[in-house]
Amino acid sequence: MTESSWSVERAARVLLDAEQDVEAQTSIVAEWDELDLRTAYQVQDAALELRKERGEVVVGVKLGVTSKAKQQQVGVDSPSTAWLTDVMVLPAGEPVPQDRMIHPRVEPEIAFVLGSRLEGPGVTATEALAAVKHVVGAIEVIDSRFSGYKFTMMDAIADNNSSGYYVSGPVSVAPEQLDLSLEAVLLEVDGEIVDSATGAAVHGHPAEALAFAANTLGERGLALEPGWVVLTGGMTDAVPVRPGARLAAHFTSLGSISLSGG
Amino acid sequence: MDDAVHLQAAAVLEEAYSSGVPVPPLVESFPGLTVEDAYAVQQVQLASRLEGGARVVGYKVGLTSAVMQAQIGVDEPDYGFVTDEMVFLENAAVPVVRFLQPRVEPEIAFVLGRDVAGPVTVAELLGAVEYVVPALEIIDSRVADWKIGLVDTVADNASSGAVVLGSRPTHLGEQDLRLAGCNLFVNGALVGTGAGGAVLGSPLTAALWLVNTLGARGVTMRAGQVVLSGSVTASVPVAAGDTVSARIAGLGTVTTRFA
């Protein structure tokens, strides 16, 4: 494909088709060097419009690259946001839909359900937390449309931050009842603990990640709406999910989530 | 191998302590050294410290995380002794010149209220634990560049350095040590996070392994002795001027500074 053949609309369609066809792509940035941060979010928003056209409904927002370790790996110094729609909700007890995913990986996360609207810029972590109705644990099953997870930050943003599915945990807790910086998770694969982390790994505190989401959306004239879910970003590194794997995330106060690898 | 080899290997490590110059791996200098030999080398060093007037105040469990065990290629932890001169008070300056290549790990420490001779059950162990405290362990290696396998780290007293215990004892009571979060800070910046379960599934499992392993060797743990149960996060290097603190859910904070 030549450089000139790329456009926001084309990139959005290519990535959605890749998701639909379960077929990995190569980096778009490699062919289209005009894909900067602004354009990448335009691709993401254009893909959202296409999703809405086929009947999907926005249910929230997810953050990516919220840990310092991940930011250093990818070579960026701030997180990014992406859209969650109703088709990305994986009901508790459902296996990872391997046939609809290219190369799924799981990450345990802290999720917020919003009680009131949050509109940036200028939102602080304290204000952000005040808008939270309750906190739940979550396992996000991410999937990249790029082969071998080889992508730049711009590719990833255009690709809706490697969105896939997410499962919510069984326990809802009011935010003032938790010390989210010490809320911990143990990640198990086939009964073995493979990693652990706390909420502090998420942009210093999950509420900081929430404030970041409100502020970065605010720059685009968008807001976080009441009832939305915000996935604040992987607490641990993402772990590949083999078919047949048994996964579990155990949170300090947010309960445990089990997930079959499909 | 015979006692003479154990004495020689111990002497090599003792020389590294006193010169401050790390040595090549013992498995290179003493080919054929086994894990049992390595514990014998550790014993030789303990005996000479006791002769010098030191006393054993506890033990540390090492190689407790899945990551460390995979790195070293083992599926069991190891242990080393802690003597009184290895313990520093919280907030007292720890001189880095005492160490060769120090790193710090946040841990949950158990303090025993009565003697325990393994084999015991986890219930019996729980009954013997007086309290828990957050701790920072300064690990160190007398082996150059931390180029250690199981034999080298065991011989080198499980790569121990020093210990700082937190000032607030907490009864085990309703603490869920497995799901307790832990944040590690160096100079105020977050450098690691984890949960107690990163230690062999639970810090209690590590403590139980230690008591029972020592018991099998005829060693009784004494009231007042400390069990350092293993690192909750990856270790981080430290230098003079650094302040390190760990915050563990339910247990509070422990802080140390290096001079």
Q: Which of B232, B229, B223 is nearest to B210 (CA)?
A: B229
What does the pLDDT read at residue B5?
A: 96
Identify the closest residue of chain B to A203 by CA–CA distance.
Answer: B190
Give the one of A183, A194, A195 whose C-beta lies nearest to B181's C-beta.
A183
Contact flag B195-A199 (C-beta cutoff 8 Å): no
CB-based contact, B251 to chain A, within 8 Å: no
What does the pLDDT read at residue B154?
A: 98
- Please tell me what DSSP assigns to residue A19: H
H-state helical runs in B108-199: 122-128, 150-155
Answer left, alpha or beta for residue B28, where phi above 0 means left and psi between -120 and 50 means alpha: alpha
What DSSP element (H or E) covers B51? helix B35-51
Whole-number Å distance between alpha carbons of A7 and B212: 66
CB-based contact, B87 to chain A, within 8 Å: no
Give the one of A185, A193, A252 whose C-beta lies nearest to B201's C-beta.
A193
- Write out the two tokens for B34: 């086994």
Average pLDDT, chain A: 95
Whole-number Å distance between alpha carbons of B135 and B104: 10
- Give the DSSP letter string of A124-183: -HHHHHHTEEEEEEEEEEE--SBGGG---HHHHHHTGGG--EEEE-S--B-GGG--TTT-
What does the pLDDT read at residue A68?
A: 80
- Write out the two tokens for B182: 């832990």
Identify the closest residue of chain B to A197 by CA–CA distance.
Answer: B194
Determine the residue among A71, A252, A254 to mutate to test chain B binding: the one whose Cβ has the most chain B Cβ atoms within 10 Å: A252
Q: What is the pLDDT along chain B (259 residues), one digit of tens a residue?
A: 789 999 999 999 999 999 999 999 999 999 999 999 999 999 999 999 999 999 999 999 999 998 889 888 898 999 999 999 999 999 899 999 999 999 999 999 999 999 999 999 999 999 999 999 999 999 999 999 999 999 999 999 999 999 999 999 999 988 899 999 999 999 999 999 999 999 999 999 999 999 999 999 999 999 999 999 999 999 999 999 999 999 999 999 999 999 9
Task: Tell me which chain A residues have a C-beta less than 8 angstroms from the C-beta of B190.
Answer: 68, 200-201, 204
CB-based contact, B180 to chain A, within 8 Å: yes
ipTM of the complex: 0.92
Contact flag A252-B176 (C-beta cutoff 8 Å): yes
For A136-171, how does the pLDDT look when each residue is reduced to its tens digit (9 = 90+)?
999 999 999 999 999 999 999 999 999 999 999 999
Locus of tokens 């003032």: A176
- Write out the two tokens for B156: 């080198």
**CATH code: domain of residue A182:** 3.90.850.10
Give the one of B178, B197, B247 whose C-beta lies nearest to A182's C-beta.
B247
- If one counts the domains in chain A, the total is 1
Locus of tokens 């995913």: A101
- Other CB atoms closer than 10 Å to residue A119's CB: what's the count? 16
- Other CB atoms closer than 10 Å to residue A26's CB: what's the count? 14
Note every long-range contact of A90-93, with CB atoms under 8 Å and residues 24 or more positions apart, other chains counting: A90/A141, A90/A165, A90/A166, A90/A167, A91/A167, A92/A167, A92/A168, A92/A170, A92/A257
- What's the angle, vertex CA A27, arms to CA A221 and CA A233, rounded to 5? 50
Q: Which residues of chain A have pLDDT under 70?
A: 1-4
CATH fold group of domain B55-258:
Fumarylacetoacetate hydrolase; domain 2 (3.90.850)
Count Cα neighbours of B235 within 13 Å in the Cβ-side half-sphere.
Answer: 24
Inter-chain Cβ pairs, chain A and chain B, closer than 8 A? 69
Q: Which of B228, B172, B229, B220 is nearest to B197 (CA)?
A: B229
Angstroms from B95 CA to nearest CA on chain A: 29
Q: Give contacts of B 52-71 with A, CB under 8 A.
A: 66
Length of chain A counted residue by residue = 262
Compute CA distances B57 → A181, B84, B116, whole Å.
33, 6, 14
- Other CB atoms closer than 10 Å to residue B10's CB: what's the count? 22
For A14-54, how does the pLDDT look when each residue is reduced to its tens digit (9 = 90+)?
999 999 999 999 999 999 999 999 999 999 999 999 999 99
Whole-number Å distance between alpha carbons of B46 and B49: 5
Whole-number Å distance between alpha carbons of B17 and B11: 10
- Model confidence, pTM: 0.94
By three-state DSSP, how is residue A51 classified? helix
Whole-number Å distance between alpha carbons of B176 and B164: 22
Distance from chain centroid for Cα A253: 22
Contact flag A196-B247 (C-beta cutoff 8 Å): no
CB-based contact, B246 to chain A, within 8 Å: no
What does the pLDDT read at residue A187?
A: 97
Domain span including residue A61: 3-260
Task: Tell me which chain A residues have a C-beta less than 8 angstroms from the C-beta of B181.
Answer: 179, 181-184, 198-200, 252
Largest Cα–Cα distance in chain A?
55
Give the one of A184, A192, A197 whose C-beta lies nearest to B66's C-beta.
A192
Whole-number Å distance between alpha carbons of A107 and A249: 9
- Structural contact between residues B163 and B88, judged by C-beta atoms closer than 8 angstroms: yes
CB-based contact, B229 to chain A, within 8 Å: no
Contact flag B181-A250 (C-beta cutoff 8 Å): no
What does the pLDDT read at residue A236?
A: 95
What does the pLDDT read at residue A4?
A: 60
Burial pattern A142-179, b for ≥16 Cβ within 10 A else e, equals bbbbbeebebbbbbbbbbbbbbbbbbbbeeebebeebb
Residue B45 makes CB contacts below 8 A (sequence gap 6+) with B10, B13, B14, B157
CB-based contact, B252 to chain A, within 8 Å: no
